[in-house]
Amino acid sequence: MSGRKKRAVKPGIRAQVLVGFTVFTALIVALLWFFQIGLLNTFYKAIKTNEIRAVSNRVVSMLDDGASMTDLIEITYSTNVSILLADKNGGSISMSPNAQGSALERFGNLDCRRLFLEVKAVGGSVLEDNLEKTPGGDASILYARTVTLSDGQELLVLLLSGVVPVDSTVETLKVQLWCLTGVMLLLALALALFIAARLSRPIEQINASAKQLAQGNYAIRFPDSGTREVSELAGTLNYAAEELSKVEDLRRELIANVSHDLRTPLTMISGYAEVMRDIPGENTPENVQVIVEESNRLAELVNDLLDLSRLQSGAQKFTPEVFCLTEDIRATLHRYDKLADFRFPFEADREVYVYADRLRISQVLYNLVNNAINYAGTEKVVSLRQVAGNGVVRVEIRDTGEGIPADQLPHIWERYYRVDKEHRRAQVGTGLGLSIVKNILDMHGGRYGVSSTVGQGSTFWFELPEYRTDNTGNAG
Ligand code: ADP
């Protein structure tokens, strides 16, 4: 098998940031060129035109108020606009002092008269012209306007504003912009490389670690550096690596334990069977009994394994029903009657009903009583107690055996955990019993626990909600 599929090579963070920054900078520079160079003339003209219109409005309103050219001189200085006034016949021309030497000087009586008529003829009283092409003259804007004053007098008002040619300015700006373009592109490149390195380095490190994790190195840790998101990703991956390593440990332990536990009875069975086949007279009921017991042990182990995996995978259906727990405890203990040397005193305050999976709860009882018997020690008494109250029923199973060291207590519920690691042959259990108990009680949402003193014995307990049939017959 070839393993992984080939993927199309995607652009890396570095390339993307680099392209992004370059495009962004190019856009800014292009905009600068467009506005500074391309639109400079247009902007300048628009501003000048507006300015000259505003001046004309002021002049007209002053003329309306009876002002003469002398009164207008101040405006001409402050705005650098030259003014020519003429009557509708082109006569009594008066010019502002700053009009001397300008294009306005060339306007004679006839020109003024013609202009007056032309301006009047185009509907409004306004005419704009651009005198840039005037031969010999400086570039300028001419604004002609006809006005009828309040006394009925009709006037031609000519305004001329000098326009500085923008060509030399454009040339200067171009040189500046070329320099700016170069500097900005270099800066963008440097910044892009810096940011890309900061972003991509931690991800590259995480990627390298993740590859090792995929190859089974569960001890690998992900470096917690870079941005918040990368650091969170590293945290999540570290957690995943820890969990994977736990699962891996459990898997190894499980395989080791299961193979050990399966091999031991199998060796016994095949050993005894071979002896019985090869040695005359060994075909005794005692030897057959060993084979039967070892077969049962194998069956028990396989059943426990199946039970546990079903419980843990959730494949096991939870089928609750109402039943009398007190009755079931009695029935369970009844099955141990054969163990003549054991005593099972049972103390119950009253008959208690629960709503639970009956088969599973009896499994819990069996496992706890079996453990108590297995670790009972010399006294051979396993006492049970049932106490009900506050809507909860508590069942305690107490033995007076070897007890469990305090530091082991939290672990005994784990599957395959044994206080005595040596797998003594004398041990009867499969190492799965308490794990099954835990899973079943978790499934019921019941509490459970153990208190134990080494040398004095252990008390395992569990609690289930009590099912009460009150007057209305409903669950309590
Ligand atoms: P096992 O099949 O080995 O009994 P369990 O899961 O039932 O497996 O129990 C786990 C371990 O907890 C046992 O191996 C034993 O060391 C300890 N243990 C359980 N019950 C008792 C008890 N009543 N007294 C002392 N130790 C106990």
Q: What are φ and ψ of residue 453, in 5° steps?
A: -130, 130
- Coil, strand, or helix at residue 399? strand
Whether 317-467 and 228-309 are alike in CATH topology: the answer is: no
Nearest C-alpha neighbor of 319 from the set 360, 291, 281, 290: 360
CA distance 244 to 232: 18
What pLDDT is stored for residue 465 in this prediction? 95
**Whole-prediction pTM value?**
0.51
* C-alpha–C-alpha distance, residues 432 and 401, integer Å: 20
d(CA 341, CA 346): 16
For 203, counting Cβ atoms within 10 Å of its Cβ (0-12 exposed, 13-18 middle, 19+ buried), the class is: middle
Orientation of helix 433-444 relative to helix 285-313, angle to 10°: 40
At the topology level, CATH places domain 317-467 in: Heat Shock Protein 90 (3.30.565)
How far is the centre of ligand 1, averaged over its atoms, from the C-alpha of 427 (Å)?
Answer: 9
Residue pair 158/143 in contact (Cβ under 8 Å)? The answer is yes
- Please identify, by atom number, the ligand 1 atom nearest to the C-alpha of residue 419: 16
pLDDT band for 425, please (50, 70, 90 cuts). very low
- Residue 475, pLDDT score: 45
Backbone angles phi, psi at 127, to 5 degrees: -145, 135
How many other β-carbons are positioned within 10 Å of the β-carbon of residue 368?
Answer: 26
Question: In the predicted model, what is the mean pLDDT of residues 239-256?
Answer: 84
φ, ψ for residue 390 (rounded to 5)?
55, 35
Q: What is the pLDDT of residue 2?
A: 45
pLDDT in tens, 60-82: 888 888 888 888 888 888 888 88
Q: Which of 135-139, 257-261, 307-311, 344-348 has the least mean pLDDT?
A: 135-139
Of 334, 362, 354, 360, the closest CA to residue 346 belongs to: 334
Residue 476 Cα to ligand 1 midpoint, Å, equals 35
Instruction: Name residue, tokens 């103390």.
Output: 347
Q: Can you tell me which residue has the tokens 């060339």?
A: 106
Q: Where are the domains of the chain?
A: 11-213, 228-309, 317-467
Q: What is the largest CA-CA distance in the chain?
A: 158
If you average pLDDT over each of 106-110, 396-400, 422-426, which comes out highest? 396-400
pLDDT, tens digit (0-9, with 9 covering 90-100), for 327-364: 999 999 988 877 778 899 999 999 999 999 998 999 89
Name the closest-CA residue to atom 7, ligand 1: 433
- Structure-block tokens of residue 395: 């069942």
pLDDT of residue 161: 84
Encoding tokens for residue 160?
């001329």
- In this structure, what token pair is assigned to residue 330? 């009695």
CATH architecture for the domain at 228-309: Orthogonal Bundle (1.10)
Residue 30: predicted pLDDT: 92
pLDDT band at 1 (very low <50, low <70, confident <90, very high): very low
**What is the length of the chain?**
476
Atom of ligand 1 nearest to the CA of 415: 6
Q: Pocket residues for ligand 1 (CB within 6 Å)?
A: 367, 371-372, 374-375, 399, 401-402, 404, 412, 417-420, 427, 429-435, 458
Of 366, 434, 435, 437, the residue with max ligand 1 atoms within 8 A of its CB, to mutate for a pocket test, comes to 434
